């Protein structure tokens, strides 16, 4: 199911969405423990539903997968963890402070505009709406909070016409959202993840 395609750090193998979110939570906790920054990015391709309606499912998938490759190509090797769900990309980029994350988002906006798709003799213009969050805000108390702040950013970007990146800074509005995971579950997940190329720092 391509709608829940997960990409690991090396691109080898597929995790489930829940496994990816657990790995993201583990990365969040490690970042808090060792005091390094993490950026969370939610990326939506503008007008993707209309693209599917007019040009079919394959065109939509081609655009979406090209944007995934764009994100993977723009981040450092070994520094990306993410998944695609509901036609949106969720990416966690460790060791990335807010300003660097904003620069990365701006680069993705520019590169997306340069993606040219020819469908039935027409060129399709690709633009993105990006929501950003980061661990440097005192209100960033859980990975769930990062996700929700990024979601809010995408909503604002989308409602403002798309082709932009938004950081809402509304961390304090969201409560901690931790899904309890047993230590054994985490150990098993990490063992599987390391077999697929995920490396703890």
Return the pLDDT at 6.
60
pLDDT digits (tens, 9 = 90+) for 88-98: 898 888 889 99
Name which of 150, 119, 127 is nearest 137 in CA terms: 150
Return the pLDDT at 172.
65
pLDDT digits (tens, 9 = 90+) for 157-197: 999 999 999 998 777 665 444 455 677 777 787 787 777 76
In order, the DSSP letters of the chain are -GGG-EE-SSS-S---HHHHHHHHHHHHHHHHHHT--EEEEEEEETTHHHHHHHH-HHHHHHHHHHHHHHHHHHS-TT--EEEEETTEEEEEEET--HHHHHHHHHHHHHHHHT-EEEETTEEEE--EEEEEEETTSTT--SHHHHHHHHHHHHHHHHHTTSSEEE----GGGS--------HHHHHHHHHHHHHTT----
Residues of the chain with pLDDT under 50: 1-5, 175-178
Return the pLDDT at 3.
35
């Amino acid at each position: 199911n391509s709608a829940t395609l997960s990409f690991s750090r090396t691109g080898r193998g597929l995790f489930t969405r829940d496994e990816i979110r657990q790995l993201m939570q583990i990365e969040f906790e490690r970042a808090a423990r060792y005091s390094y920054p993490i950026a969370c990015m939610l990326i939506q391709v503008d007008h993707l539903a209309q693209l599917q309606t007019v040009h079919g499912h394959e065109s939509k998938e081609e655009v979406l997968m090209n944007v995934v490759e764009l994100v993977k190509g723009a981040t450092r090797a070994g520094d990306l963890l993410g998944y695609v769900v509901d036609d949106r990309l969720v990416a966690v980029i460790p060791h990335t402070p807010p300003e660097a994350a904003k620069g990365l988002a701006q680069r993705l906006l520019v590169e997306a505009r340069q993606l040219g798709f020819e469908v039935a003799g027409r060129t399709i213009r690709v633009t993105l709406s990006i929501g950003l969050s980061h661990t440097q805000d005192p209100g960033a108390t859980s990975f769930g909070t990062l996700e929700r702040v990024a979601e809010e950013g995408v909503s604002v970007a989308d409602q403002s016409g798309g082709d932009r990146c938004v950081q809402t800074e509304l961390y304090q509005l969201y409560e901690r959202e931790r899904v309890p995971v047993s230590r054994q579950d985490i150990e098993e997940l990490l063992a599987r993840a390391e077999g697929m190329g995920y490396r703890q720092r």
